[in-house]
Each structure stands twice: as C-alpha cells, then as structure tokens.
Structure 1
C-alpha cells in the first residue's frame, strides 16, 4: 500500500492549506444562497435541472482531466479554473437574478469542481501516505474553518444588500485567491507519466475493488450534500424561518467540520484505519436525515441540532474517504483521482434527476427520505472495504 515513491514538502502543504481556507470561505458565501437565487429566477422549487446540466459538464471534464493535466500541468489547471470562476462571479454581479446569469452560474459550478480537483492533486504530490489522515484532516479542517465563516455573513449580506452584496464580496475574494496562487503555487506542473484514454482509465479502476467501494462511499456523501444543500434552505424558508435564523443554524452545523476531522485523521493513521468509523458515520448520517424528514418543530434550534448531528456524520465520512483513497494512490495517479472526483457530478446528476421527478408529485419533504435511504445503502460497501493498516498495525 505504501510501496510508491513519496516525499513531503511541508511549506507547499501550508500554502495549499491557505488557498483551501480562502476557497472554502468563498465557496460557503454562495453555497446556501444559490438555490434561492435559482428559485427567484425561475419562480419554482424544482430547480434541479440547472444543477443536472452543470454536473453533466463536470462529469465529461473529469473523465478527461488527466489528459488536461498531462498537457498543461496541475498548477496551470488550478490558475485557469480560479480565473474563470472569478469571471463567473463577475457575470453574476452584472446580471443579478435574471436568466442571463444562468450561464455564469453553470460556469461557477464547473470551474469550482475543477479547481478543487487540481488543488487536491497538487496536495497529493507533496504528501506521505502514512500521514494521509493527518494531512487530509488538517487540510479539510482549515478549509472548513473558512467555510464556517461564510453562511452567516452571506445571509446578512443577502438581507442588507441583496445578491449584489454577496457576489461583490465573492468577486473580491476570488481575485485575491487568483493572485495568491499565481505567486505561491507555481512550478507544480508534474506531468502525468502515462497517457491513457477514458476507457482505459475506467478499466483500470474497475479492477480495483476497494477503489470502487470507496467511490460509492463518496457518491453517497455527495448525494447527501447535493440535495441537502439545495433543498434545506428552501424547505426551512417555507416553514417560516428567516435568513438570519438560517445563517445562525448553518454556521452551527458547520462547526463539527472544524472540530472532528483532524483528530479523526490522527486516530485513523495511528490506531484504527478508516473502516470502522466510516460504518458508524453513515449510521449517524442516515438517522439524522430521517429526523429531518419526521420533524415538525417550530423551533430553529431543533432544526440546527438535527443539522449538526448530520454534519458530524458528514465530516467524518468526508475525512475518512479522503484518507482511505489517498493512501491507495500517489501523485502520479491523476487518472484515478479524476475518476474518484466524478463521484460528485455523478451524485449530483442522479440526485437532481430524482428530485426533479419527485417534486412533480410530492413535496420537498420527501427528498429527505430518499437521502436517508442512499446514506444507509453505503453501509454495505463500507463493510466490504479492506481496511488500511494503521501505524499501530505496522508496529505490532
């Protein structure tokens, strides 16, 4: 498992983490208001088709991202992605709450996924497998510390200045990120050693059963993120809660991402591996989503508590899937990373397709029942995973 060549560059890891913090903050500014933006444009809750189109484009790109990196290198892809994302936010600022803004909305989603994929590939190039849980845990903790700051600020800006206020701040932060990465994340254009096509890549990963199982784990988590991010704000707004209340609830629900991921990564590296806690985490995720379906409470703190419980499970799954996956590849496996990254667009495509049909016949509430079923379905492939050995196992 640890047989490939590695070296760690802690200075570059720190620079990547700073970039991740800024990107996390900016992503969260828009994450929980964009579904409301689409509802304002189209006048309906059934907005899944826009996400569906966006993630179809992402899926096509990720299936060929190894070719893009092969020709241009990782840092170049990162720089171009952030530049295009900055342009996308500028377009949303120019065409607020109108159909003319939709192409920029799609560009924003597509380039965001590409930027995170490139950043993850760069991080893997400077990491060690035996420290994967700690490195990924710290990376995600720093990213989520940035993410934690966004929802409350975004909802306040939305209430005071409308979408223009949110988009203007996002544009300024992305401009800073673009300049920072140009200055400090350079000369990381490691080229892909072997050029293969998408079909060869699929054949390669299908043979690796544990990669396919952790892929489904990632799919289930991204399915959860897709529908909860889109429909929780709309559902709670329909129940009469205000944007100020939602901003507070969403900020509280993100706290577990900052508190649990690095300690969990440390435990996975040193003592347990990932498998056991993944099983526990999906149980929490499924139960919390069922609670969201059954609750009728008029108290925002009850909803915040349910959201926090769900995000404890999500935070653990997010860290453990990263730790497990990256222990089984190295920085040259850009094709496998690209395939693993397709879990998100595939999940969004499936999730938004299901939700679009479901909302033709049922209320938004039923979406949460579907999410719970998908979360519980990940328990079996998780149980079948061959666990990674911890440092304790190597020493015994």
Structure 2
C-alpha cells in the first residue's frame, strides 16, 4: 500500500475518533460538573499540551513520527477504555484532559509523515486536500454513530469505547509498513522559529489564520451540541443526522477548492470568502429559538461548514507551499496553535456563559471570526 494511502486511511479513522471525542466532550463534562465551568477543564489540559508541544521536533528527530504515532494511539485507547468504566469525577477529568492533550500530537505526526511523501510543491494543494477529504468523509459517519450511541440515553461510556475501537486500524496500518521518514529534521530554537515566522509576513499571517480557524473548530463542536440539545431541546437522534449533513461541505468542497487554488485563483481569495461565510453563519445561530424549524437550523449549520472548508483547505495548502520537509519547527508552531486555541477558546466560552447566554456567545464569536479572518487574509501574499 502506498504511504500516502496508508496516511489517508489512517486519517480517516483518526477523524472518526476525533469527532466522537469532540462532540461528546463538553456534554460529558457538563454531566459531571457545572456546564459554564467545563471550558476551564478543556483549557487546562490544552495548556499542558502547549507546554509539551515545542519538544515534538526533537522527539520526531530521535524516534521518528511513525513510532511516536503508534505509542500515542495505543495510549489513547487505554485512556478511553478507562473513561468508559465510569471513574470518579477527579479521575474522569484527568483522563479527559489526557485525551484532549494527545490529539494535536497525533495530528502533528500525520503532518510530518505526509510532508515526507510530497516532492513537488505544485501538487501540495491536491495532496493535502485529498488527505483532508479522507478526514472529512469520515466526519460524516461519526455524528450518525454518535446519535445512535446516545439515542436512548446519555451513556457516554459507549462513545468512549467506540472511539477506542476506531484507533485499532491506525495501529495496524502503521505497524504493517515502514513509512518515509524524510530528511533528518533541521531543528531551530523555538525563539528562533517564532522570530522567523513573525518576520515573514506571509507565514505570520497564515499561522494566525490557522489560529482563527482552530478557534472556530473549538467553539463550534464544543458549544453547538450543548446549545442545540439543552437550550433548543433537539434530541441526539436528530442531532446525529443534522451534524452529518452539516459536515458534507468538508467532503465535497476541500479537494475542488485545492484544485481551483492550484490552477486559477490562488489561496487568498478563497480563504477570505471562507472567513466571511463561516463567521456570518455563526452569528445566525444566535437568532435561533426552540420554534425554529430543523430545516433552517440545518441550512445555517451547512453554510457555516462551507466557510470552514474553504478556510481549512486554503490555510493548509498555503502554509505547506511555503515550507519544506526540513522546516519541521515551523510545522510545530503552525500546529501549536491547536492547543493554544483550546486554551483561549474555552476560557472565552466559559466567561461569556458565566455572565451571559449562548445567543451572545455565537453573536460575539461569529463576528470576531469574520472580522479578524478577513483582515488577516489581507496580509497573505498569494503564490499566483
């Protein structure tokens, strides 16, 4: 099996795992502690991940991304199985914190391995978006599975068992063949890498755009399920198919967007449109009521993901056009905004919910994504 196929298939199962955990994360924590304060738990675990993240390039250089991926995947399986047996509150919070922290580490290993298989920068957009499409297709199945698991009760232990099970194919695939390791990474100090990115306007802009994207990715999957289920009273059985429809744009837009960017428009224009669409749809969520039809809600959710798919595919493609296999520390900083967004995003969410409600939360966060994202793209230098 070709290494890119192995990585794309592995990314497919990683997507299911990630979606199951992310969609059930805040509802699960809210079942064992006050909902408004659950975000602080997420932020605390992400802080630990942020502290560890700068050491990943050294670990990859010494042990290889493939070996580290196997260790992380197996560790996640053990943690999820421990969560499934209904531990005490303190233990459950600690285990969930580990689950949150490990996800960006796994994503980083996939990035390093995939980059080692790309020789021609002219194909970066297509290879990257194909890799992302595998993730997005799996995302369609995960909400349906989640809805089925929680249809008759909020038995989150079932979700954790299912999430552990979908990691098994990753372990099998990565154990069966040695993947390209690429050149030995040329390591820079974290300070030096940050200075390099900040001085390079294009890299700084696309890295900040990635931070905004991850804020959106944190806010929407964490707070939308709780909002729709507890405030608007929509059942999990309905939320399952609604979220599946919501995620369709990821599967059908990202690869064509990458092709269009490679051949015609470039990354900047599509990225700009993505921020405006995603932010505007998020603002629209603040105007929903329990009487709003499911059809209208689905349309808003789908439109939000149209924008997110454009943002994600263009940010990924643009960043990886600007770096090479040896620039592994830049990848670390680029991916490092993932745990950083998991620190800032939930804290903002908790602060808003302590003093206000979900309607104001979606109004403020959506407006911020549209405005900040639009301004950021103006500083990006298109490759065309």
SS state at 1:388 partner:
coil
Contact persistence 2:23–2:225 (CA under 8 A):
yes
CA distance in 1 between counterparts of 2:314 and 2:357 reads: 33
**175, 179, 188: which one pairs with 1:182?**
175
**355, 367, 385: which one pairs with 2:380?**
385
Cα pair distance change 1:58/1:191, threshold 3 Å: farther
Contact persistence 1:226–1:348 (CA under 8 A):
yes
SS state at 2:378 partner:
helix
Deviates more, 1:42-51 or 1:307-316: 42-51
Contact persistence 2:283–2:366 (CA under 8 A):
yes
Matches within 5 A, 1:95-110: 95=86, 98-110=89-101
SS state at 1:387 partner:
coil
Contact persistence 2:46–2:340 (CA under 8 A):
yes
Query: TM-score if structure 1 supplies the norm length?
Result: 0.91
CA distance in 2 between counterparts of 1:333 and 1:104 reads: 33
**339, 353, 358: which one pairs with 2:352?**
358
CA distance in 2 between counterparts of 1:275 and 1:97 reads: 48
1:170, distance to aligned residue in structure 2 (A): 1.8
Contact persistence 1:73–1:189 (CA under 8 A):
yes
Matches within 5 A, 1:279-358: 279-296=272-289, 297-358=291-352
Deviates more, 1:111-120 or 1:169-178: 169-178
Which residue does the alignment assign to 1:53?
44
Which residue does the alignment assign to 1:206?
198
Which whole-Å deviations, capped at 9, do the CAs of 1:136-163 have from their partners, x for residues lacking one? 1111111111111001111211234722
1:276 counterpart = 2:269: yes
Which whole-Å deviations, capped at 9, do the CAs of 1:113-147 have from their partners, x for residues lacking one? 10111101110111131011111111111111111
Contact persistence 1:35–1:231 (CA under 8 A):
yes
CA distance in 2 between counterparts of 1:384 and 1:199 reads: 22
1:64, distance to aligned residue in structure 2 (A): 2.2
Cα pair distance change 1:226/1:152, threshold 3 Å: same
Which whole-Å deviations, capped at 9, do the CAs of 1:275-314 have from their partners, x for residues lacking one? 1111111111111011111232432221111010000000
**112, 133, 136: which one pairs with 2:103?**
112
1:141 counterpart = 2:128: no
Deviates more, 1:215-224 or 1:305-314: 215-224
Deviates more, 1:239-248 or 1:307-316: 239-248
Contact persistence 1:76–1:189 (CA under 8 A):
no
1:362, distance to aligned residue in structure 2 (A): 0.6
Which residue does the alignment assign to 2:163?
170
Contact persistence 1:220–1:374 (CA under 8 A):
no
Which residue does the alignment assign to 1:374?
368
CA distance in 2 between counterparts of 1:283 and 1:96 reads: 43
Contact persistence 2:215–2:341 (CA under 8 A):
yes
Which residue does the alignment assign to 1:151?
143
- Provide the aligned length of Structure 1 versus Structure 2: 379
**47, 56, 59: which one pairs with 1:65?**
56
Which residue does the alignment assign to 2:234?
241
1:243, distance to aligned residue in structure 2 (A): 0.7
Which whole-Å deviations, capped at 9, do the CAs of 1:62-87 have from their partners, x for residues lacking one? 22221221222221221121121112
Which residue does the alignment assign to 2:124?
132
SS state at 1:63 partner:
helix
Query: TM-score if structure 2 supplies the norm length?
Result: 0.94
Contact persistence 1:289–1:369 (CA under 8 A):
yes
